[in-house]
Structure 1
Amino acid sequence: MSPSPSSSSSTSARRRLLISAGVAVAAVTLGIVSWQATAPEDRPARTSSSAAPAPKGSDVHAELAKLARRESGDKLAAGRADAPVVLIEYSDFKCGYCGKFARDTEPALVKKYVEDGTLRIEWRNFPIFGADSEAAAKAAWAAGRQDRFAQFHAAAYADGAKEKGFGQARLLELAREAGVPDLDRFRQDMAGEAAAAALQRDQEEGYRIGVTSTPSFLVNGRPIAGAQPLDAFAAAIAQANAQARPQGAGQADGQAAR
């Protein structure tokens, strides 16, 4: 016997409530760990006598590290799939601080760490500024289908680009700037179900772990909030790389160098 409309509605409501509760717990967890990960060393962590103890940072980081997809065919990623360090970036093309990171910090990370095989960067579309943000996210994904994601990313984050908006005509202009070869295919991909599904996948992942602002990052599971200076990322990558290397690798390297 099929459930009545009222029972189906009740079940759906309970499911939504459980999902919301799970997201809230994840948000608190990531928020605490993110704040502690990016706070100055001489700044004490905020505590409350009535608050439940936060999970240990290493335990949370291990779970968040599992979000690295390491898919060899990922069009929205740069670097080797087996790189010891994976930086996951949750960003919005209308976010000014995301643009600052893209222009001022990311190129240095690519040059220093991606090119030597240490780092892999995996992009997650996380639009939070409305319809234009979502359209730009789908357009970036569509450009990636033709191996032009990096070029579209650079064009969309160029200084002053977001002020021009991300209407359909502007997205086509950005695709031309990025050198997307087949603009008809670009239009179709941008409007297709696959683009919407890819965007939903990224968004649900971000919401599930409590991402509430952009840019937000994970470096082998360690949260970094905001467009931090290059030194903050360099330190996190160095630490993650050291932890990812097998024990004794450093000694072996040192002996080999003698």
Structure 2
Amino acid sequence: MIRRAALSLSVFVALAAAGLAAPAFAADAPPPVTAQDHVLGRADAPVTVIEYASFTCSHCADFHNSVLPAFKAKYIDTGKVRLVHRNLPTQPANVAAAAAAVALCAAPERYFDVAGVFMRDQANLRTTGPQPWFAAGIAASGKTREQIETCLDGPTIRAELDAQIAGADAAGVAGTPAFFVNGKPVADHSLDALSAAIDPLLR
């Protein structure tokens, strides 16, 4: 079930997730955007913002809950930016990896719905535990619980999550959330900082 799937991924992500706290970058850009990525915005948007995030990271939740609505209205809905969301699970690694897997198993058009639910309800993990949190994510997935569990038991999602973690590692990402604007890192996830990186590229 969901609990078993989460535990099966814990060893897989433990080393990559251990100790992540604040973004740090090497000189390398993240891997290019492919059809496997989950993207908000037009494919031909002039600016691409890649976000590495964890569904158990409080700063990631802050971005999605407090910054993303204004960012979406200013840049994504106007066709100026496409936002690419990639997963880099942080502690507790088994919970974050299982949540990422649920989102990846969702119907493609529901990925950001699941992400939004997990970020919105993240604070409830401390009081309610993970089961209601996962249930809400699954309810937003466009698939049944049985379909999600079948997906979690297969090798495809593990390989996809592995590739996202490897891409973050190759780009020198050492914490979440981490943002790249047209391949260049931006350390601050505030709207002002992202705007400062994006606006010169739109002139």
Normalising by structure 1, we get a TM-score of 0.63
> Is the contact made by 2:111 and 2:141 (CA closer than 8 Å) also made in structure 1?
no
Match of 2:33 in 1: 69
1:185 to partner: Cα distance? 1.4
1:154 to partner: Cα distance? 1.1
Which amino acid letter does the alignment assign opposite residue 134 of structure 2? L
Q: Pairwise CA RMSD of aligned residues?
A: 2.3
Measured in 2, the distance between the counterparts of 1:85 and 1:165 equals 38
Does residue 1:201 correspond to 2:157, yes or no?
A: no
1:126-159 Cα shifts (integer Å, max 9, x gaps): 002111111111011112x352111111110115
1:175-230 Cα shifts (integer Å, max 9, x gaps): 21x2524332122123321110110010000011111110001011121124x321
1:73-110 Cα shifts (integer Å, max 9, x gaps): 74x21111221101100000000000000001112111
Residues 180, 125 of structure 1: alpha-carbon distance in 2 compared, 3 angstrom cutoff: same
Counterpart pick for 1:90 among 38, 47, 52: 52
> Is the contact made by 2:49 and 2:84 (CA closer than 8 Å) also made in structure 1?
yes
Match of 1:172 in 2: 135
Matched positions, count:
178
Measured in 2, the distance between the counterparts of 1:99 and 1:173 equals 16
Rg larger in structure: 1
Q: Structure 1: give runs of 5+ residues left out of the alignment.
A: 1-26, 32-59, 243-258
Superposition pairs of residues 28-39 of structure 1, within 5 angstroms: 30=25
Q: Structure 2: give runs of 5+ residues left out of the alignment.
A: 1-22
> Is the contact made by 1:86 and 1:219 (CA closer than 8 Å) also made in structure 2?
yes
Does residue 1:224 correspond to 2:186, yes or no?
A: yes
Residues 139, 121 of structure 1: alpha-carbon distance in 2 compared, 3 angstrom cutoff: same
Report SS of the residue matched to 1:106. Answer: helix
1:165 to partner: Cα distance? 4.2
1:162 to partner: Cα distance? 3.9
Match of 1:137 in 2: 100
Report SS of the residue matched to 1:86. Answer: strand
State the identity %.
Answer: 29
Report SS of the residue matched to 1:128. Answer: coil
Report SS of the residue matched to 2:52. Answer: strand
Normalising by structure 2, we get a TM-score of 0.78
Which amino acid letter does the alignment assign opposite residue 119 of structure 2? Y
Report SS of the residue matched to 2:33. Answer: coil
Measured in 2, the distance between the counterparts of 1:115 and 1:170 equals 28
Q: Relative CO higher for 1 or 2, CA cutoff 8 Å, sep ≥ 6?
A: 2
Residues 239, 70 of structure 1: alpha-carbon distance in 2 compared, 3 angstrom cutoff: farther
Counterpart pick for 2:198 among 214, 237, 240: 237
Match of 1:37 in 2: none
Measured in 1, the distance between the counterparts of 2:34 and 2:201 equals 16
Which amino acid letter does the alignment assign opposite residue 67 of structure 1? P
